[in-house]
Amino acid sequence: MNRITRAVSIGVAALALAACGADDTPDVTTSLPVTGTDGLAFEPDAFAVPVGEEVTVTLTSEPAVEHDLVIEEVGAAGAVGDEGHGDGDEHMMDDDHAMAEDDLHVAHANAGETVTATFTVDEPGTYQVYCSVPGHRQGGMEATLAVVDDA
């Protein structure tokens, strides 16, 4: 009598998710290089700038998707110096970009392009940054802008 023992092993694949728990406060800077990724994210997604000083944003869109950078509810405290946008870019005033009056459109970069823009915020606080290209904010394309009095 042959006895065949079959060991059935059930492998459980444990998926280790690397938690992005590091909530590091970014350095206060007047120079912000930002990438809008094809995966609908800002990299980095947290910025800190000094209040009342001109900040230069360099926004780069990865090859596949256009992005812009809007500061939410900054109102009269925020002003754009040189607004950055790509060549032949006529989307700035498109109706399909849901932007409130108090929001500040800083820059727009077509897919694969890099644009430079400047802005100043005169009111310390924490502001939400988002991309107003349809669907992107809904896809999680947001960042945090801390405007600090670093005196």
Q: Which two tokens stand for residue 93?
A: 């005033």
Residue 105 binds Cu ion (CB under 5 A): no
Residue 136 binds Cu ion (CB under 5 A): yes
- Count CB-CB contacts under 10 A for residue 42: 23
Q: Which two tokens stand for residue 81?
A: 């110096």
Q: Closer to Cu ion by CB, 121 or 136: give it.
A: 136
Which residues in the 34-93 window bind Cu ion by CB under 5 A? 67
> Is residue 108 within 8 Å of 84, Cβ to Cβ?
yes
- Minimum distance between the CB of residue 98 and Cu ion, rounded to whole angstroms? 13
- Minimum distance between the CB of residue 6 and Cu ion, rounded to whole angstroms? 53
Task: Figure out which of the listed residues 107, 131, 145, 147 binds Cu ion, where binding follows CB under 5 A.
Answer: 131
- Report DSSP state, residue 46: E
* CB-neighbour burial class of residue 58 (10 A; exposed 0-12, middle 13-18, buried 19+): middle
Residue nearest to Cu ion (CB): 131
Q: Closer to Cu ion by CB, 67 or 85: give it.
A: 67
**Strand residue runs (E) in 2-113:** 31-36, 42-43, 46-50, 55-61, 67-71, 78-80, 84-85, 104-109
Q: Which helix (H) or strand (E) holds 129?
A: strand 125-130
Q: Closer to Cu ion by CB, 49 or 108: give it.
A: 108
| Selected range binding Cu ion among 1-9, 18-26, 75-83, 126-134, rule: CB under 5 A | 126-134
Residue 141 binds Cu ion (CB under 5 A): yes
Q: Which residues contribute to the site for Cu ion (CB under 5 A)?
A: 67, 131, 133, 136, 141
